[in-house]
């Protein structure tokens, strides 16, 4: 059986690796972006000089031939599901028995005049990185449109090269659609502190042509014109599914899949950023453009293709990122607009760059989620508390188990417990349970 995989990101490559572990099927991975799989999240570090491109490839180039995974460089222009054939822009074709579509995302464009000019691009592909590099020499200012994780990554990249940045964000504070108010305001302060020209409640109106087909300025909805030599479009992403327009594969925002990651067409699957759950689990979005969900989908689809049928289960939500110098982690349910029964215990350090938010249910006291800024908590510990619906006071008394900051870092769990006692009138104390042995014992306990 021949399995063709469109896309060599984390989803497609995980699928290929697990299919090889589980079977002797012929596997072909197709990508128009690069010859080999690389860590997309590391793109920024190449630009900043922290890594070389070869350092971002998790596997040596000989890995693919050794594991009998064929790699094809090409752009799929048409999927003919009736003939089980892929047609390429270059004119050739490839037949398959089963097809996995893992073609990822593409940056949003909202019809702005000038959005297709030279010196205008998002930050998603390796080609986007090359585009930034191409135009960075002598660049006097960049304008970035849209907040969120990709926007702040691009801002940090330019900032690392001492290129002034104007950052247009339509919200009242940075990423306030995803972050609670206090954390959003913290990151807003942090961006400004780093010298970024952050313009809140401001949107792009148009990009001005310099007369040669390249950007020379950005005009905002407030009438301001910002002279610049590069415009970064980071107002979110959308599934990269345009090439499926004439196919039989059902699409909505993304490629619609059931719980087994099957599309409406037999023997065709979709995973990763381009997949849209037909019936998402409670509290989860139909499309989740997250690294770890892509990896989990890749493993799940491999089992299904190899005859060991299992439903995709993303588990408890988590994510991590970095806002300039502030690390960010979220586990479980932490909403920017929380319902009445969600109670937050929010502690913030006096320096305004560290915080702990613990969310629990007002009626049951069950722990719901954790939001960390500048402080690291162990994923496994937080996940276990959330899965077991642990009482918030039990969590607080054992909070030392969660701390994952390096040795000699100051710990703040006692401050968090003290704040809870002040707010509740209780007299909880933090148990001195720390260290790897205590954590392992806790995780093994039922």
Same domain, 322 and 440: yes
Burial environment of residue 376 by CB neighbours within 10 A (0 to 12, 13 to 18, 19 or more): middle
Q: Where residue 45 falls among pLDDT bands split at 50, 70, 90? A: very high
Same domain, 436 and 323: yes
Which structural domain range is residue 175 located in?
120-235
Same domain, 258 and 356: no
Same domain, 128 and 217: yes
The pLDDT value recorded for residue 408 is 72
The pLDDT value recorded for residue 446 is 59
Instruction: Write down how long the chain is.
Output: 446
Residue 304, Ramachandran bin (φ over 0: left; ψ between -120 and 50: alpha; else beta): alpha
pLDDT of residue 181 exceeding 90, the answer is: yes
| 382, part of any domain | yes
- Output the domain CATH number for residue 65: 3.50.50.60
Whether the CB-CB separation of 262 and 304 falls below 8 Å is answered with yes
Helix (H) / strand (E) element for 182: namely: helix 181-193
Residue written as token pair 């995803």: 178
Closest CA to 154 of 181, 173, 135: 135
Same domain, 102 and 148: no
Per the structure, the count of domains in the chain is 3
| 111, part of any domain | no
Q: What is the residue-wise DSSP string for 370-414? A: EEEES--B-HHHHHHHHHTT-BHHHHHHTGGGTB-PPTT----HH
Looking at residues 13-18, what average pLDDT do you find? 98
Same domain, 187 and 332: no
Sign of CA pseudo-dihedral 294, 300, 306, 307 = negative
| 112, part of any domain | no
- Specify which residues 31 forms β-bridges with: 73
Looking at residues 303-330, what average pLDDT do you find? 95
Looking at residues 172-185, what average pLDDT do you find? 95
Measured CA to CA, the distance from residue 438 to residue 400 in angstroms comes to: 10
| 114, part of any domain | no
Chosen domain end from 190, 207, 235:
235
Looking at residues 9-14, what average pLDDT do you find? 97
Same domain, 242 and 280: yes
Looking at residues 185-207, what average pLDDT do you find? 97
Q: Where residue 292 falls among pLDDT bands split at 50, 70, 90? A: very high
pLDDT of residue 434 exceeding 80, the answer is: no
Looking at residues 34-63, what average pLDDT do you find? 95
| 222, part of any domain | yes
Same domain, 326 and 278: no
Angle of helix 149-160 versus helix 126-136 axis, rounded to 10:
30
Same domain, 192 and 244: no
Same domain, 95 and 129: no
Chosen domain end from 206, 235, 264:
235
| 313, part of any domain | no
pTM for the predicted model, two decimal places: 0.92
pLDDT of residue 435 exceeding 80, the answer is: no
Contacts of 337 (CB under 8 A, 6+ apart): none
Closest CA to 148 of 124, 162, 169, 125: 169
Mean pLDDT for the chain? 95
Tell me: the pLDDT tens digits for 253-279?
A: 999 999 999 999 999 999 999 999 999
Looking at residues 120-148, what average pLDDT do you find? 95
Chosen domain end from 217, 235, 253:
235
Same domain, 375 and 271: no
| 115, part of any domain | no
Proportion of the chain above pLDDT 90, given as a percent: 91
Q: Where residue 340 falls among pLDDT bands split at 50, 70, 90? A: very high
Same domain, 223 and 244: no
Closest CA to 336 of 167, 173, 144: 173
| 197, part of any domain | yes
pLDDT of residue 118 exceeding 70, the answer is: yes
- Output the domain CATH number for residue 353: 3.30.390.30
Q: Where residue 431 falls among pLDDT bands split at 50, 70, 90? A: confident
């Amino acid at each position: 059986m021949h399995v063709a995989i469109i896309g060599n990101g984390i989803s497609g490559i995980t699928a290929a690796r697990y299919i090889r572990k589980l079977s002797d099927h012929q596997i072909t991975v197709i990508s128009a972006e690069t010859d080999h799989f690389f860590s997309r999240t590391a793109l920024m570090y190449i630009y900043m000089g922290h890594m070389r491109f070869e350092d971002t490839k998790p596997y040596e180039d000989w890995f693919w031939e050794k594991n009998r995974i064929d790699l094809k460089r090409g752009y799929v222009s048409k999927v003919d599901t009736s003939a089980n054939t892929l047609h390429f822009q270059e004119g050739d074709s490839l037949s398959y028995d089963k097809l996995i579509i893992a073609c990822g995302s593409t940056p949003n464009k909202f019809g702005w005049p000038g959005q297709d000019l030279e010196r205008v691009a998002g930050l998603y592909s390796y080609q986007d990185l090359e585009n930034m590099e191409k135009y960075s020499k002598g660049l006097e200012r960049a304008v970035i449109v849209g907040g969120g994780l990709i926007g702040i990554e691009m801002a940090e990249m330019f900032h690392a090269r001492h290129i002034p940045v104007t950052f247009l964000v339509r919200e009242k504070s940075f990423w306030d659609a995803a972050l609670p108010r206090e954390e959003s305001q913290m990151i807003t302060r942090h961006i400004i502190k780093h010298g970024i020209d952050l313009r809140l409640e401001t949107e792009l109106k148009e990009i001005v042509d310099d007369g040669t087909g390249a950007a020379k300025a950005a005009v905002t909805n407030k009438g301001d014109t910002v002279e610049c030599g590069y415009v970064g479009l980071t107002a979110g992403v959308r599934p990269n599914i345009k090439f499926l327009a004439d196919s039989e594969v059902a699409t909505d925002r993304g490629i619609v899949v059931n719980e087994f990651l099957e599309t409406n067409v037999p023997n065709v699957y979709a995973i990763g950023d381009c997949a849209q759950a037909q019936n998402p689990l409670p509290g989860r979005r139909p499309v989740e453009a997250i690294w770890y969900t892509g990896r989990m989908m890749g493993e799940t689809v491999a089992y299904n293709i190899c005859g060991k049928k299992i439903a995709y289960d993303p588990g408890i939500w988590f994510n991590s990122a970095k806002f300039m110098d502030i690390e960010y982690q979220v586990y479980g349910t932490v909403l920017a607009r929380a319902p009445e029964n969600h109670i937050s215990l929010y502690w913030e350090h006096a320096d305004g760059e560290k915080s702990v938010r613990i969310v629990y249910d007002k009626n049951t006291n069950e722990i719901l989620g954790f939001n960390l800024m500048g402080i690291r908590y162990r994923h496994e510990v937080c996940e276990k508390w959330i899965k077991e619906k642990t009482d918030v006071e039990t969590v607080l008394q054992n909070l030392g188990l969660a701390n994952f900051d390096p040795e000699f870092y100051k710990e703040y769990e006692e401050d968090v417990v003290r704040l809870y006692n002040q707010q509740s009138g209780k007299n909880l104390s933090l148990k001195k349970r720390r260290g790897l042995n205590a954590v392992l014992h806790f995780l093994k306990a039922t």
